[in-house]
Amino acid sequence: MCEVVIMASICPVCGGKLGLLNREKSADGLICAGCSNFFFSKLGIRAAKQPTAALAEYWATLESRRRTFKETDSIFDRDALFVSIDKVNRLFYFGHRSGDKGPRMIYSFDEVAGYESDAPDDLTVTETKGGIGRAVIGAAVAGPVGAIVGASTAKTETRKGRIKESVSIHFALPLGESSLPTTVYPGGMTAFLKSCKVSHEKPQAAAPLAPSAADELLKFKQLLDMGAITEAEYNAKKSQLLGL
């Protein structure tokens, strides 16, 4: 009896194995199921509608981001969700304290196309820190009077933002538009997204100033001196520019 062995080929996107039970269609070929699931679960993009070359190119971009990413800042609170930020390379990703399954999706600041948030821009949160601790220490040292003094010296910090923010985010990716549904993020997420948009939005070029009548008159005087126009033509243009 002859045994037929089918060798697995290579996924053109990630370079992983592409077996009979581990393959999905792209717009013009086959990729592994892992890549197909990644693009749909992370970005909401169906690989079946994308050319293989476009998927492979963006995957290579993500691999480069994963290698170069170095956290310089973060947005987090006591909950599981956090945002890790690399300001030097202008990258960020969403993570969970329990760990993430599969390859990490790292976004560029420039891919943030818009967002909706319930956080007002001018919200101010005031926090008082150290009051209880100082009151206890004061009471231990100087009795009730010390407790009052300790409480009165509590540190007050005022900062922009809020504890929680419900935000939906829109991205403009090389593969098309992608959106993350409304999710509760730690305070500061809206301000971060706003800074992403501001940093990559180029100011519109100012419209060129219209030449003044004096500039135009000087130009035609030079043409007259060069003999390019007649004196009658110059006088006619002069009258037009000066409204005579």
User: For 127-179, what is each residue's pLDDT tens digit?
Assistant: 343 443 333 333 343 444 444 444 444 443 334 445 788 999 999 999 999 99
Domain covering 69-123+161-201, topology: PH-domain like (2.30.29)
Cα–Cα distance measured from residue 189 to residue 180, given in angstroms and rounded to the nearest whole number:
14
How far is residue 138's CA from residue 190's CA, in Å, rounded to a whole number?
A: 40
Other beta carbons within 10 Å of 22: 15
Q: Tens digits of per-residue pLDDT, 75-131?
A: 987 766 889 999 999 999 998 877 777 889 999 999 999 999 987 754 434 334 344
| Residue pair 191/199 in contact by the 8 Å Cβ criterion | no
Listed by start position, the domains of the chain span 7-68, 69-123+161-201, 124-160, 213-242
Angstrom distance (rounded) from CA 59 to CA 64 = 9
Residues with Cβ within 8 Å of residue 60, at least 6 apart in sequence: none
Residue 100 carries which DSSP code?
Answer: -
pTM exceeding 0.85: no
